[in-house]
Amino acid sequence: MSLRKSIQRGDHLIWFTGSALGACLLMIAGLIAVILFNGLGFFWPSPLVKVTLKDGAVFLGEQVNREPIPNPGHPDHLEKHRIQLKVGNRDLLGFDFKWIDEADITATERPGGVFVVERREYGPLLGTPEVVKQGDRVLYQGADAIRQALPLLLAQASRDRAAVNRIEKDEIGAINYRIEKGRLRSKKIDFRAQKEPGRDLTAERAEVERVTAEAQKEYQAKQDELARIMETAASTSVTFRTADGAEKELRALDIYRAYPANELGWFQRLRIYLGRLWTFVADDPRESNTEGGIFPAIFGTVMMVFIMSLIVVPLGVLAALYLREYAKQGPLVRIVRIAVNNLAGVPSIVFGVFGLGFFVYFMGGSIDRIFFPEALPTPTYGTGGILWASLTLALLTVPVVIVASEEALAAVPRSMREASLAMGATKFQTILRVVLPAAAPGILTGLILAMARGAGEVAPLMLTGVVKLAPDLPVDGFFPFFHLDRKFMHLGFHIYDVGFQSPNVEAAKPMVYTTTILLLMVVVALNFAAIVVRNRLRRRYQTSAF
């Protein structure tokens, strides 16, 4: 086959269109690769390098980046390279990252004995442990002794932290909750006193005061207990020496993890990797979301999608049943169907605007005025919350469910309905016992797609209740257990917030990539599930039809 002939036939143009598809595929692959590459490596404990510069400055850190130096207009444009070290020690240096021109480096080595210390504040500390003290008493001295003692020390610190956390968050939290309730009750009594001036409310008032006083007393007791624990727990400290010779004393209580980065085997590295991964998934965030975990965001996302599903399924199925089974098919229903279809294409931010105006300000405001007047002007429901966010997302995704359910209902073979009706079943019985079960997989597909869309939406949530840091989960141990008025965290918003609003974007970036992987996994898994269910469904109808 000659080239001229294939060009005559237009084969090169076929290849041209093929390149468009190729470019699309490359872009998808590129995006996934960028996310995986940047996100998966973050928890891997890389070795530390120590570089000495021409001017004698010494930097110790993990190399995280290497790039050509742009110098437009000069012959060395993009020829030379620089490396980026994660040097940590923000409290001592004032920065976490340092770009170093390779040309300035005189020596590079991998020193032994240096530890990466994850701590409560200021990002990681990189240095060599020198001495462990309890108060003024030296417990351990010298690298080997400390290295042996460190696991025990950290385990103790972890236990102490858990104890402190239990008292601070759970127990004192519970007491605070009671005090707050008492405050609201006394305000409520004030309210009633105004409305019914004749009524004697002294007994109720005394009761509230008694309960509050009791809670106050307990609060004091817990505070004392906390102080006692802190006294012993906080006395142990480890002193580190950094690469540039500075000393830093850390309370053992504040150390979350420490490992000698340059003396780890593969297995140990893997263990640290998994440990950090677990921390990431299961812990609360620290340091304005740039460290620690993202558990509240995962929880918030799941909870919101869950509430949304609870709302969206009945709404969507009911509307689909009406449109497909009960409404008289005609131009009006056709218009409605098109409108519903197109609602899926309306920008999500518009739904957010609606949610803010209608749910938050109108409905929330009304609920506050009627049921929670004692808390005003602090809004209870009249501000963004998980309920309003879920409702907004339910509105956003209801077209998806309607369309999918309608298709599923339409796909149920006529013969099945007719058989049911011929046996004397009413229309409702037929729908309930025959049509809906047959259509269930299709409805499920719609629901899964709705969940996938809901999980990935961020813009409407920003207006209806998502926050960068929510102190409490929407579910806890206090009656009524589900606090639908609470604000919540969300994986997608977390990405936006940490990546773009965080004070320390550079340090937070890898975390954002990891969060992205998590969100992608959720969304892709849901979509994949929908595709599988749909394919199964198709096959089933292909065999069973007529």
Partner 1 sequence: MASAAVGIRERVLAAGARIKRVKRLDRFATYAITLGGVFIVASVSFIFLFIFGQAVPLFRSAHGRALGVMPLAAVPPAEGTVGPPRPLAVGVDEYQMYLYELLPDARLVFFKTQDGSRAKEFAVTSLAGAGVTAASRSLIGDFVAAGTADGRVALQQVRVLPKYEAQRLVDLDVEVRDRGLVDVDGAHRPVRAVVYEEHEGWQAVAAQVADDEIVLYRHNPDESAEERQTVRTRDGERITAFTLGHADTLAAGTDKGNVYLWELPGESRLVHMFPVSTQAVTAVDYSIGSHSLIVGDAAGAISSWFRVRLKDDDPELSVVRAHQYAGQGQAITSIGQSTRDRSFVTAAADGSLVLRHLTSERSVLSFPATGARPAEALLTPRSDGILVRQEDGAVARYEISSPHPEVSWRALFGKVWYEGYAQPEYVWQSTGATDDFESKFSLVPLVFGTIKGTLYAMLFAVPLAIMAALYTSQFAHPSIRQRIKPMVEIMAALPSVVVGFIAGLWLASRVEMHVVPVLLMFAFLPAMGTAGVLVWDRLPHGLRKRLKPGMELAVIVPLAALGAWLALRLGPGVEGLAFGGDFKGWLHTALGLVYDQRNSLVVGLAMGFAVIPIIFTISEDSFSSVPSHLTAASLALGASRWQTALRVVLPTASPGIFSAVMVGFGRAVGETMIVLMATGNTPVLDWSIFNGMRTLSANIAVEIPEAPYGGTLYRVLFLAGGVLFLMTFFVNTVAELIRQRLRERYRAL
Window 40-99: residues binding partner 1 (CB under 8 A)? 67-68, 70, 72-74, 77-78
Does position 16 bind partner 1 by CB under 8 A? Answer: yes
- For partner 1, which residue of 135, 347, 437, 471 counts as binding (CB under 8 A)? 347
Report the residue from 273, 295, 358, 541 that binds partner 1 according to the rule CB under 8 A. Answer: 358
- Asked if residue 155 binds partner 1 (CB under 8 A), the reply is no
Q: Which residues contact 508 (CB under 8 A, 6 or more apart)?
A: 289, 290, 498, 499, 502
Min dist CB 436 to partner 1, Å, is 12
CA distances from 522 to 91, 201, 290, 463, 519 (A): 37, 54, 22, 23, 5
Query: In the structure encoding, which two tokens stand for residue 417, read together?
Result: 């309905």
524 binds partner 1 (CB under 8 A): yes
Site string for partner 1, 108-147 (x = CB under 8 A): ----------------------------------------
Out of 36, 38, 226, 230, point to the residue binding partner 1 (CB under 8 A).
Answer: 38
Residue from 41, 47, 113, 456 in contact with partner 1 (CB under 8 A) = 456
Q: Which of 134, 378, 429, 544 is in the footprint of partner 1 by CB under 8 A? A: 429
Asked if residues 103 and 68 have their Cβ atoms less than 8 Å apart, the reply is no
Do 127 and 89 form a contact (C-beta atoms < 8 A)?
yes
Omega of the bond leading into 377 within 30 degrees of 0 (cis): yes
Smallest distance, partner 1 to C-beta of residue 193, A: 10
413 scored as a contact of partner 1 (CB under 8 A): no
Interface with partner 1 includes 457 (CB under 8 A)? yes
Part in contact with partner 1 (CB under 8 A); list of ranges 53-61, 86-94, 100-108, 489-497: 489-497
Assign 519 to helix, strand or coil.
Answer: helix
In this structure, what token pair is assigned to residue 52?
Answer: 């000495």
DSSP 110-147: --SS-EEEEESSSS-EEEEEEEEEETTEEEEESHHHHH
Could you say whether residue 463 binds partner 1 (CB under 8 A)?
yes
For the sheet with 97-101, list strands across it. 97-101, 81-86, 58-68, 49-53, 105-109
Among 165, 220, 341, 366, binds partner 1 (CB under 8 A): 341
Tell which residue, 135, 137, 138, 113, has the closest CA to residue 242.
113
The pair phi, psi for residue 153, each rounded to 5°, is -60, -45
8 A C-beta contact, residue 259 and residue 246: no
The nearer residue to partner 1, 7 or 310, going by C-beta atoms, is 7
Distance between CA atoms of 522 and 503, rounded to whole angstroms?
Answer: 28
Q: Is 31 a binder of partner 1 (CB under 8 A)?
A: yes
Which of the ranges 157-165, 245-253, 284-292, 525-533 carries the binding residues for partner 1, by CB under 8 A? 525-533
Q: What angle do CA 70, 71, 74 make, to 5 degrees?
A: 140
3-state secondary structure of 234: coil
Binding string, residues 182-221; x marks residues near partner 1 by CB under 8 A: --------x-------------------------------
Long-range contacts of 179-186 (CB under 8 A, 24+ apart): 179/212, 179/215, 179/216, 179/219, 182/208, 182/211, 182/212, 182/215, 183/212, 184/374, 184/375, 185/374, 186/212
The SS3 of residue 407 is: helix
Reference 133, options 240, 249, 258, 237; nearest CA is 237
> Which residue in 25, 103, 138, 282 binds partner 1 (CB under 8 A)?
25
Candidates 3-11, 128-136, 149-157, 406-414: pick the segment binding partner 1 (CB under 8 A).
3-11
Please say whether the beta carbons of 135 and 96 come within 8 A: no
What minimum distance in Å lies between the beta carbon of 29 and partner 1?
9
- Among positions 306-335, residues that touch partner 1 (CB under 8 A) are 315, 318-319, 321-323, 325-327
Residue 428, burial from CB neighbour count under 10 angstroms (0-12, 13-18, 19+): exposed
Q: Is residue 410 near partner 1 by the rule CB under 8 A?
A: no
Cβ proximity to partner 1: between 153 and 522 the closer is 522
Q: Please work out the total of residues on this chain that contact partner 1, with binding judged by CB under 8 A.
A: 102
Query: Alpha-carbon distance 371 to 364, whole Å?
Result: 10
Q: Find the shortest distance in angstroms from Cβ 370 to partner 1.
A: 18
Q: Identify which of residues 32 and 221 has a Cβ nearer to partner 1 in the complex.
A: 32
Query: Which residue in 14, 270, 281, 545 binds partner 1 (CB under 8 A)?
Result: 14
Residue 33 in the binding site for partner 1 (CB under 8 A): no
Q: Which of 174, 184, 336, 367 binds partner 1 (CB under 8 A)?
A: 336
Binding segment for partner 1 (CB under 8 A), chosen from 24-32, 157-165, 201-209, 470-478, is 24-32
531 binds partner 1 (CB under 8 A): yes
Is residue 28 within the footprint of partner 1 (CB under 8 A)? yes
- From 20-28, 122-130, 433-441, 536-544, give the range in contact with partner 1 by CB under 8 A: 20-28
437 binds partner 1, rule: CB under 8 A: no
**Residue 103 per-residue DSSP state:** G
Rounded Cα–Cα distance for residues 319 and 416 (Å):
22
How many separate helices (H) and strands (E) can be counted in the chain? Answer: 18, 13
Best CA proximity match to 404, nearest among 328, 326, 313, 332: 313
Nearer to partner 1, 131 or 498 (CB): 498
Residue from 453, 468, 483, 487 in contact with partner 1 (CB under 8 A): 453
- Distance in Å, CB of 349 to partner 1, minimum: 5
* C-alpha torsion sign, points 276, 46, 106, 81: negative
Question: How far apart are CB 23 and partner 1 at their closest, in Å?
Answer: 5
The verdict on 426 binding partner 1 (CB under 8 A) reads yes
Task: Provide, rounded to whole angstroms, the least separation between the CB of residue 421 and partner 1.
Answer: 11
How many CB atoms within 10 Å of residue 229? 15
**Residues between 493 and 512 that touch partner 1 (CB under 8 A):** 493, 495-496, 499-500, 505, 509, 512
